[in-house]
Amino acid sequence: MQPYDCIIADISKFKRQALQWAASFDVACFLDSNQYSNPYSSYTTVIAAGVSKEICSNSGNALGELSNFLNNNKLFIPGFFSYDLKNEIEQLHSNNQDGLEFLDLYFFVPRHLLLIKGNEVRIITDKPNLLEEINAQVLPDQEVHFDGTIHSTLTKEAYIDKVNQIKEHIKKGDIYEMTFCQQFFSVCKSFNPLAAYLQLNSISPAPFSTFFKIRDKYIISSSPERFLKKEGLMVISQPIKGTAARSADLIEDNRLKEDLRSNLKEQAENIMIVDLVRNDLTRTAVPGSVEVKELCGIYSFEQVHQMISTITARVSATTKNIDIIKNAFPMGSMTGAPKIKAMELIELYEETKRGIYSGSVGYFDSNGNFDFNVIIRSLIYNKSKKYLSFQVGSAITFASDPELEYQECMLKAKAMLKVLS
């Protein structure tokens, strides 16, 4: 397949048409930055559709199988890691209820690939008329057609009780931070995943948004967080810890932003995870190369203000990509510290298996680079089982107020609930 380049005048319309076209395939991946400026991003949008080759694995030797797959296919390869891949990396297990039944690991060589930077599009395909096919697409229906009732696995009272129990572990010194999540779910006869993605992306545009279809299963994400990127010999992680609401009133919105910036509890949460990420990156980094480029930076998105730090490291030319990922997965922002004990307690206190939630979607490219997000602020759907869910969480520390932690969860759920309303 010979790549060719073109310039698209109305790139916004083209992306919607290309998404509609891609979603007609059994497997499709749409990654969009929503024009957020990030100095570490390689593309504005990635669109991959159709399968030439694929790897479908669950915990056991999934990462080894993926390493072989990448060695045999030095191409652009999108896919995802489930949170429960942790069971292969550490001596852990996942026995909680699972209504979604996603694979722990899935990657594919696409038949058709579009790499977009601004309004420049690189197309890799064996279809000579692909542009015409995309431009002929009617813009997709934006009616979500959701007919279910949303339930929570935890009442507010049960959530607060569990937070207090987690705080007891912190007092005893078992952990000093843990990301505790709860699930909202529905069994629904009707749901339009593509329309849900378009609405979520309109309500809550984010720099790592995702529409991923693997046959009867869908990831619909407005994630603001990068897990890990490798560009050349540099590795970048940008964990998020610290969240504040936004206001339509500019003065109030600025106050909320500055309150987050000066909030000692939120700073402590962020710094604890920065230390954990630094430790994770050190395991494969060139000695002395791990560096905190930005600590507790404040960034504003449509629904929330977030506190984000940036940590970088250099690796040697012989370091394997799978080892870099394995030594940092799952991401510290979604586990806690110490990481292994936090994951043991997550399994104990959460009601449902995380599965793809707090896993990662992204890609490996043909030059040995990769870029992966954190799957948060996401609707996850199993069409065959009619099972739709989303999870939200917050970091529990010694200073946590259970009522405020619950409110933070509801703030993070706001965009998904609006889509389903």
Instruction: Just list the catalytic residues.
Output: 225, 241
11-22 and 193-203 are packed helices; what angle lies between their axes, rounded to 10 degrees? Answer: 150
Cα separation of 53 and 130, whole Å?
Answer: 20
* 287: Cβ contacts below 8 Å, ≥ 6 apart: none
CB 109 within 8 A of CB 52: yes
17 and 7 Cβ atoms separated by less than 8 Å: no
Asked whether 40 and 226 are in contact (CB, 8 A), the reply is: yes
Question: Is residue 11 a contact partner of residue 43, using CB atoms and an 8 Å limit?
Answer: no
| Tokens encoding 262 | 């000066």
Q: What is the DSSP string of 290-347?
A: -EEEEEEEEEE-SSEEEEEEEEEEE--TT--HHHHHHTTPSPGGGTEESHHHHHHHHH
Q: What is the Cα Rg of the chain in Å? A: 20
Classify residue 398 by burial, with Cβ atoms within 10 Å: 0-12, 13-18, 19+. Answer: exposed
Contact by Cβ (8 Å): 241, 311 = no
The beta strand positions in 160-290, using DSSP E, are 177-187, 208-214, 217-223, 226-231, 234-238, 240-245
Report the candidate in 413, 406, 343, 410 with the shortest Cα–Cα distance to residue 163: 406
Contact 334, 376 (CB under 8 A): yes
309 by Cβ neighbours in 10 Å (0-12 / 13-18 / 19+) ranks as: buried
Q: How far is CA 190 from CA 48, 147, 155, 187, in A?
A: 26, 6, 26, 9
Which one-letter amino acid corresponds to residue 196?
A: A
